[in-house]
């Protein structure tokens, strides 16, 4: 079992790309090797089996999704009103839609998690922690709305992104901003009402 962390990360990133591009059907050790531009057999040296590869890829997606420091900074400036929240949500939709690989890979992994307890465990923790962090952040910064607001936003925004990534013609492109605005407007109480 090889240990080189940079190479391992590169292989995992390649695995994420393969997952997004070819689906879990196309995710083989060889495909990972090729996507990473390393000789055949390399992935075999780093991951004992498919399950290892998938769970580590899940952790890697987590790792790459977490930071987003620019957005955090942006949220801390200016007023904390609904307009700001709307802007944040629009930014979120745009940002994730613009880099679909991670999100698509995550969906593939979710479906795989149905059959792989270890993977399910990892994804559960990762997504639950993320959601909790969002709630905390939201409440702490004084953005409009309560904890339920954040959870409901999470639900709707995620499916909106899924629709855009997989079946973009179900909801016309130009309705997206309007929908996000309506979501915030209805899910977060008006400023006066707090």
**Residue 20 and residue 101 in contact, taking contact as beta carbons nearer than 8 Å:** yes
23 binds a copy of itself (CB under 8 A): yes
Asked if 120 interacts with a copy of itself (CB under 8 A), we say: yes
Q: Does 159 bind a copy of itself (CB under 8 A)?
A: yes
Between 45 and 134, CB nearer to DNA: 45
Three-state SS across the chain? CCCCHHHHHHHHHHHHHHHHHHHHHHCCHHHHHHHHCCCCCHHHHHCCCHHHHHHHHHHHHHHHHCCCHHHHHHHHCCCCCHHHHHHHHHHHHHHHHHCHHHHHHHHHHHHHHCCCHHHHHHHHHHHHHHHHHHHHHHHHHCCCCCHHHHHHHHHHHHHHHHHHHHCCCCCCHHHHHHHHHHHHHHHCCCHHHC
Q: Which among DNA, a copy of itself, none contacts residue 137 (Cβ within 5 to 8 A by kind)?
A: none
Of the listed pieces 2-10, 61-69, 81-89, 144-152, which binds a copy of itself according to CB under 8 A? 144-152
91 binds a copy of itself (CB under 8 A): no
* Residue-level length of the chain: 194
42 binds, among a copy of itself, DNA, none (CB under 5 to 8 A by kind): DNA
| Residue 45: contacted member of a copy of itself, DNA, none (CB under 5 to 8 Å, by partner type) | DNA
Whole-number Å distance between alpha carbons of 12 and 46: 10
Residue for token pair 């090797």: 33
Residue closer to DNA by CB (options 42, 86) is 42
Shortest spacing between CB 49 and DNA, in angstroms: 5
The residues of the shown chain that bind DNA, judged by CB under 7 A, are 2-4, 7, 28-31, 38-42, 44-45, 48-50
The partner in contact with residue 151, picked from DNA, a copy of itself, none with C-beta cut-offs of 5 to 8 angstroms by kind, is: a copy of itself
Instruction: Assess 112 for contact with a copy of itself (CB under 8 A).
Output: yes
The site for a copy of itself (CB under 8 A) is made up of 21-25, 27, 104, 107-108, 110-115, 120, 123-124, 127-128, 131, 148, 151-152, 154-160, 162-163, 165-167, 169-171, 179, 182-183, 186-187
């Amino acid at each position: 079992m090889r240990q080189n962390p940079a190479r391992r990360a590169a292989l995992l990133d390649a695995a994420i790309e393969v997952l997004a591009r070819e689906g879990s059907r196309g995710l083989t050790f060889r495909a990972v090797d090729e996507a990473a531009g390393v000789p055949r057999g390399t992935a075999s040296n780093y991951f004992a089996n498919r399950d290892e590869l998938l769970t580590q890829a899940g952790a890697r997606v987590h790792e790459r999704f977490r930071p987003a420091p620019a957005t955090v900074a942006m949220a801390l400036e200016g007023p904390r009103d609904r307009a700001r929240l709307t802007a944040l949500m629009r930014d979120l939709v745009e940002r994730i839609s613009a880099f679909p690989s991670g999100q698509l890979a995550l969906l593939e992994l979710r479906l795989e998690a149905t059959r792989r307890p270890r993977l399910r465990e990892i994804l559960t923790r990762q997504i639950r922690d993320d959601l909790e962090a969002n709630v905390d952040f939201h409440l702490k910064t004084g953005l409009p709305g309560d904890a339920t607001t954040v959870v409901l936003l999470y639900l709707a925004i995620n499916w909106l992104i899924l629709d855009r990534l997989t079946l973009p013609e179900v909801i016309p492109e130009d309705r997206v901003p309007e929908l996000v605005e309506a979501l915030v407007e209805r899910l977060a109480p008006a400023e006066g009402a707090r």
